[in-house]
Amino acid sequence: MGAGAGDVVVRWARRAARDLEHRKDEINRLNVFPIPDSDTGANLSATMAAAVDALAGTGAGTGEGGGAGARAGADAGPGTGEGAGAGETVDAGGGTGTGDGTGQGPDVAVVTAALAGGAVRGARGNSGTVLGQVLRALADVASTGELGAGSLARIMTTAVRYVTEALSTPVEGTALTVLRAAADAATDARGPAVDVARAAADAARAALARTPDLLPVLREAGVVDAGGRGFVVLLDALVETLGGDGDGRAGAGGEGGDRGGGAGLGGAGGAASDGDTPGGAAGAGSAGAPAGGPARDAAHGPAHTHTPTGADAGTGTGAGAGAGAGDPAHAHARTHAPAGAELEVMFHFRGETAAALDDLRRMMDGRGHSVVLGRDTATSATVHVHTGDAGALIEDAFALGTVSDLRIEALPSTSPTPRRHPGPGAGLLALVPAGPLRDVFAEAGAETDADAELGERCVVLTNGRDATPVIDHLEADRRQFSVIDTECYVGGLAALAVHDATNDWQDDVEDMADAVASQRWTSISCDGDGAGVDAGTLARRIRDLLESGGELVTLLYTSAVPAETVADVQRALAEDAPGVEIHAYRADGMECAVQIGVE
């Protein structure tokens, strides 16, 4: 490891920490996803400050300026700063010196390991945990050889992988999208390190401007992604550290949240087109799934209403109107947001084996959302989760391994639109296995506990599960109820998307049944092992279902399907399917690896 590279990394880290602190209020105002708690800028700034604080004892000194060597890509030469040493291809101009006084400067492997450790252990919030994984990628690449222009692409592509692995549900239109664009540009760029960094920063800025086209909540708020904005600040700091033009791009975009307005955020300028028309034959089925979803008897439909003796009789079938009632896109989108006040829980976790981290993620997916698991070793990680059941989650975490640095903060009670609840005297019961899928249905307005109080009348969404015990119980209670044979979980979500508690109960049942009948769906790998579920297969199945039209795709997947595969599908459809929204949810506990529904 050359001394000059360590010096450059130290100067970049300090500049990045300074710029994030300066820009934190601007970034906070952009923060609307995953919840609008206006702390992304503060979390990024605090995490980068923790990383820089960890440099103490590495020989990095206390100054902010540069050390030895020539500018990026130039021939190495004698240093000009106090403590300067031999130059390296990534080094920049002279300054006030960060070396250790030996003429060699700090070792880059030691410096980057300190930054990564400080960021992972000192991470604040979702965005800080992601930043820790970016710095972990820097440290891993630095540990394998000298840093140079070619190293930047490896660092960024490694960061994309680490961040994707950290997120239980990767979402496009976020910092991940911006990071991937930077990595792609760095891979294609040629020349000295400063030119590669500038290409990555420009690509990141252009991708940031397009984030509202990929994430509806950003488009509705008129902002770009806050985490992505922070990553652009980091790249601009790198360009300036490597001897770039110092044009102040770290502050580009002004103080507002305009998505394409001030210098720097505009990038490509304006909204990007989503792409071309999907093709393929409709409704390719797979093991146990009828092609294109189940065929239904038009005379009876998927709903059946039971009225106890002595009650007013009614029918539970409907045809024609009602399939398009409500706003399916926004009903599904609301499942991303918590329905009420929750807690943000963060802690550092260490297990005896790597499998303990997998067990921890499964547990957190079942008890919360916005799950990020940022590893620092094969058996330890900093954990971030939003949950309404913090006590049980923490208790389960202690049972799985060693928990330290526990932090709990209240989240604002926010919901962009009111959660749909059953009307007075009525209830909705969805038959769903334990795990994260229950949270999806609960946020859409359904009860998932068969023992819950359901009111005088209720609707049962079978979701392909055996409803006999529930029906027997309801009949014994002499309650009026309707059973909608949704046949799959995506069918249950389609019914909930059009549910209207203010509507007449029987009309509401008919509308939900019609929505189920109108949906096209399929499942993949019904043995649940995920075999053969790759991005190409998923994208092809979705395009097949879209052949007959549709504007909303719901994709449920289990842990058998890599998160990177889902992210690739989301990215491909964002480019190829105009006007189509795709919502993906972890659904461990399903009998198959994937279910896809198109409405």
How do residues 14-49 score in pLDDT, each as one tens digit?
999 999 999 989 998 898 888 787 889 999 999 999
CA torsion through residues 563, 567, 570, 572, sign: negative
Pick the closest to residue 427 from 443, 406, 411, 450 (CA basis): 450
- Which tokens go with 100? 């250790």
Residue 560 pLDDT: 84
What is the phi/psi pair of residue 477, to 5°? -80, 0
Amino acid at 94: G
What pTM, to 2 d.p., does this model score? 0.52
Determine contact, residues 141/151, Cβ cutoff 8 Å.
yes
Distance of CA 37 to the CA centre of its chain: 16
pLDDT tens digits, one per residue of 158-189:
999 999 888 888 888 899 999 999 999 999 99
Q: Domains of the chain: which residue ranges? A: 4-57+106-244, 343-410, 426-518, 520-598
List all residues 6 or more positions away from 153 whose beta carbon is below 8 Å from its beta carbon. 183, 186, 187, 189, 196
Q: Is omega for the bond preceding 34 within 30 degrees of 0, making it cis?
A: yes
Q: How many other C-beta atoms lie within 10 A of the C-beta of residue 63?
A: 18
Sites in the chain below the pLDDT cut of 70: 1-3, 59-105, 244-341, 412-426, 453-456, 478-479, 526-532, 578
Query: Could you name the CATH architecture of 520-598?
Result: 2-Layer Sandwich (3.30)
Give the N- to C-terminal CA distance of the chain in Å, as an integer.
56
What pLDDT does 398 receive?
A: 93
At the topology level, CATH places domain 4-57+106-244 in: 1.25.40
What would you measure as the largest C-alpha separation in the chain, in angstroms?
97
Residue 171 CA to residue 229 CA, distance in Å, equals 16
pLDDT of residue 370: 84
- Fold (topology level) of 343-410: Alpha-Beta Plaits (3.30.70)
Continuous segment of H or E residues that includes residue 333: helix 328-333
